[in-house]
Amino acid sequence: MDNTRRVRVRFAPSPTGPLHMGGVRTALYNYLFAKKHGGDFILRIEDTDQERLVPGAEEYIINALKWCGIEPNEGIGFGDGDCAPYRQSDRKNAGVYAQYADQLIQSGHAYYAFDTKEELDEQRKRYETMGKAFAYNALTRQNLKNSLTLSEDEVKTRIAAGEHYVIRTKIPRNEEIRFHDIIRGWVVVHSSQLDDKVLFKSDGMPTYHLANIVDDYSMKISHVIRGEEWLPSAPLHVLLYRFLGWEEVMPQFAHLPLILRPDGNGKLSKRDGDRLGFPVFPLTGELLDVKTGQPEKFTGYREKGYYPEAFINMLALLGWHGSSNQELFTKEELIEAFSLERVSKSGAKFDAEKTKWFNQQYLRKRSDAELAAELLPMLKEQGIETTPAFAEAICRLLKEKVQFSYELRDQCGYFFNDPAGYDEGVIAKRWNEQNAAFMKSLADAFNGLGEWTAATTEACFKATAETAGINAGQVMQLFRVCISGLGGGPVLFELVELLGKETIVRRLHNAVNTIGK
């Protein structure tokens, strides 16, 4: 890395729909790299494809980055710097791009093309009949309607008459285009594999390729860290830097690997999430589907109960690995450890269960008071009022048993209500006259117990079992079922202590009078 140049990176999504988790990972790697090197992280909105813009998508992107805690220090929604504006349509209105399109024309590296959509479609059909794919390139441009085949006067006449045109790159013939990718090493592409991409349209709107290069140059971007899907465009971008005379300040490239389906077969998509039951977006929302023209709802990690720290930690390890086997990273630790050299070339398989594991680890890191603050509003929605201290005690007992905070709510019903039923499997296996008599004796013993703690109640339980000639281990699960209705749960006698003598004795009597009757 050139240590003399300030690190400036950008995340440049198109507002054509919700931000996919692959896009979040791209933003994350840019953020980590910028923070690691004391640089700048910019959010730029690339809205050159006006026909595919979705109302609300830009706001979704901003809100998603804020929730993830990977906020840019400059850009749309995060404050202006010297490079404002950061929305390409605003930059187009300021006349940023037209001058460079004209410069490429004047230097002979681009040309006007007047071919209509219908004429190009006809060319494609003609090539299909010959078993070939049509491309507008060095081999075909001389037979098409452009400023390379038309006279200068005719070109001027067509433009003056308001005829529709585009400006295309003039890709050189028979040339190798080489560039170094930080992740993939040297990439070499022959110019015969490239077509003359459209750079500018007669309505004054640049395409992605020109706007991307001009913006990266004017914003002094030092590193372009983006998804693998942009790798085929990189040779054209390298050429444009050369054509515009900007080779010395061309950013370093790093193309990130794909996030793959859980089976490793192809890129992860929303359909995979819908089919397999996990989200692929950070936030839940509803936006227009540009393909169908209909509103489409989608589910996000936030609304599924994931902590942003867990989501980010999981994403960081989808394609990057540290120097050790460490899996749990604070954001500060990620910044310190991150390097593009440790990003893999190959795709990373998404693991939904591992993602839940990450959330579980971050839940366990939270204090009982923090979890209680999440639990209390959920209980209130169910009409349950309790004290912060009791909620903290519930969280202390259940936090090792859950992966999401909402599961605390779902699993704590017996802390407030006597069982309405009992685990049928345990009852069928363990309930008999002897054990029923033991539960009645245990209720009496508990009722006479002085000090009520986990230790004293456990000692009382074992003593009562010994007096009855029963193996305490054989009736412990049955005892749990009698007081909670469930065959599993938190540490048993800590639960007993928390519920209190009156509740435990009452529930034991209820069980004896209910089960088998």
Q: Report the catalytic residues.
A: 270
Name the residue with tokens 């033991």. 438
CB atoms within 10 A of CB 280: 23
Question: Which two three-digit tokens encode residue 343?
Answer: 């990003």
Specify whether the CB–CB gap between 323 and 337 falls below 8 A.
yes
Kind and range of the H or E element at 288? Answer: strand 285-288
Kind and range of the H or E element at 166? Answer: strand 166-169
Q: What is the CA radius of gyration of the chain?
A: 32
Q: Which candidate, 418, 403, 354, 412, places its Cα nearest to that of 382?
A: 412
CA–CA distance from 79 to each of 43, 48, 73, 86 (Å)? 10, 22, 7, 10
487 exposed, middle or buried (CB, 10 Å; 0-12, 13-18, 19+)? middle
DSSP 193-230: G----EEEETTSPBPHHHHHHHHHHHTT--EEEEEGGG
Question: Which two three-digit tokens encode residue 74?
Answer: 């400059």
Full 3-state SS string of 84-128: CCCEHHHHHHCCCCHHHHHHHHHCCCEEEECCCHHHHHHHHHHHH
CA–CA distance from 427 to each of 52, 136, 465, 491 (Å)? 61, 76, 18, 20
Determine the Cα–Cα distance for residues 32 and 336; give it in Å rounded to an integer.
8
Determine the Cα–Cα distance for residues 262 and 276; give it in Å rounded to an integer.
9
Specify whether the CB–CB gap between 379 and 303 falls below 8 A.
no
Specify whether the CB–CB gap between 45 and 77 falls below 8 A.
no
Full 3-state SS string of 416-428: CCCCCCCCHHHHH
Determine the Cα–Cα distance for residues 265 and 275; give it in Å rounded to an integer.
15
Q: Which residues of 84-122 are buried (b: 16+ CB within 10 A; e: fewer)?
A: ebbbbbebbeeebbeebbeebbeeebbbbbbbeeeeeee
Question: Which two three-digit tokens encode residue 108?
Answer: 């002979």
Determine the Cα–Cα distance for residues 328 and 323; give it in Å rounded to an integer.
13
